């Protein structure tokens, strides 16, 4: 039980970090999602063209930058461009649950007691309801961001056709014609010998 006390501490620390976040160098864009939306693939790709998530996570050691659960004063004041990935709640939940990420993800989304329905009461229905509540909280927060600096893309179409990639190219004013040609395609992760891409990216950034 004492090990669970780390989560309230992490939740409070996360709230403070998100609210006070600022950088000396202005991001050209940030890719944001609650998790389970294929954001790591896009983040990796945009790193070839812009100063975005990877650059700032490396430079400022800001873990979970892609999962900011709300825009703060710094982002609004500096008109930072945000690419927000949307996906059906049921698909996000299934993805995070299958990887065992629900508890940690709730913590990153600002929940100080993410273990209540996992370790204490073990109630799957209430856990799912709580997770959906935090997804609502996440997307409602970003709905209030400056529309000129916000591009919402759908996970369903992001890696399956060129509509969303063309939107991203225009939004970021990328001139390189190869951007669309080399844009990543949808790829289902193998179930055997599977290593989560977010783990690979985290290890790469923090050299774990």
Do the beta carbons of residue 57 and residue 63 sit within 8 Å?
yes
For residue 155, give every residue at least 6 positions away whose Cβ sits within 8 Å of its Cβ, in sequence order, or none: 37, 38, 85, 86, 87, 91
Give me the tens of pLDDT residue by residue for the chain, a chain 208 residues long.
Answer: 448 989 999 999 999 999 999 999 999 999 999 999 999 999 999 999 999 999 999 999 999 999 999 999 999 999 999 999 999 999 999 999 999 999 999 999 999 999 999 988 899 999 999 999 999 999 999 999 999 999 999 999 999 989 999 999 999 999 998 999 999 998 766 655 555 566 666 666 556 4
Residues 183-200: b if buried by 16+ CB within 10 A, e if exposed: beeeeeeeeeeeeebbee
The kind and range of the H/E element at 203 are helix 197-206
Residue 62 neighbours by CB distance under 10 Å: 17
Q: How far is CA 141 from CA 84, 109, 132, 137, in A?
A: 12, 11, 14, 6
**For 86, what's the count of Cα atoms within 13 Å in the CB-facing half-sphere?**
11
- Which two tokens mark 110? 């600002």
Beta-bridge partners for 154: 86
Write down the residue that tokens 């929940």 correspond to.
Answer: 111
Residue 9 neighbours by CB distance under 10 Å: 11
Predicted pLDDT of residue 194: 53
Domain boundaries, the chain: 23-98+138-206
DSSP 100: T
Q: Coil, helix or strand for 71?
A: coil
Predicted pLDDT of residue 186: 81
Q: What's the pTM value of the predicted model, to 2 decimals?
A: 0.91
Do the beta carbons of residue 78 and residue 70 sit within 8 Å?
no
Beta-bridge partners for 32: 84
């Amino acid at each position: 039980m004492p090990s669970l006390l780390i989560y309230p501490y992490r939740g409070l620390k996360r709230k403070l970090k998100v609210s006070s976040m600022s950088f000396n160098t202005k991001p050209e864009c940030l890719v944001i999602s609650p998790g389970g939306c294929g954001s790591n693939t896009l983040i990796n790709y945009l790193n070839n063209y812009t100063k975005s998530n990877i650059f700032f996570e490396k430079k400022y050691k800001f873990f979970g930058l892609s999962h900011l659960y709300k825009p703060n004063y710094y982002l609004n004041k500096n008109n930072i461009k945000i690419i927000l990935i949307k996906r059906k709640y049921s698909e996000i939940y299934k993805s995070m649950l299958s990887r065992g990420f629900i508890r940690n993800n709730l913590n990153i989304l600002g929940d100080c007691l993410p273990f209540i329905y996992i370790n204490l009461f073990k109630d799957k229905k209430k856990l799912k309801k709580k997770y959906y509540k935090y997804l609502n909280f996440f997307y409602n927060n970003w709905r209030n961001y400056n529309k000129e600096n916000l591009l919402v893309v759908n996970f369903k179409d992001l890696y399956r056709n060129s509509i969303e990639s063309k939107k991203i190219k225009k939004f970021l004013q990328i001139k390189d014609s190869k951007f669309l040609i080399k844009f990543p395609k949808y790829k289902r992760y193998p179930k055997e010998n599977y290593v989560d891409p977010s783990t690979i990216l985290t290890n790469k950034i923090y050299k774990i």
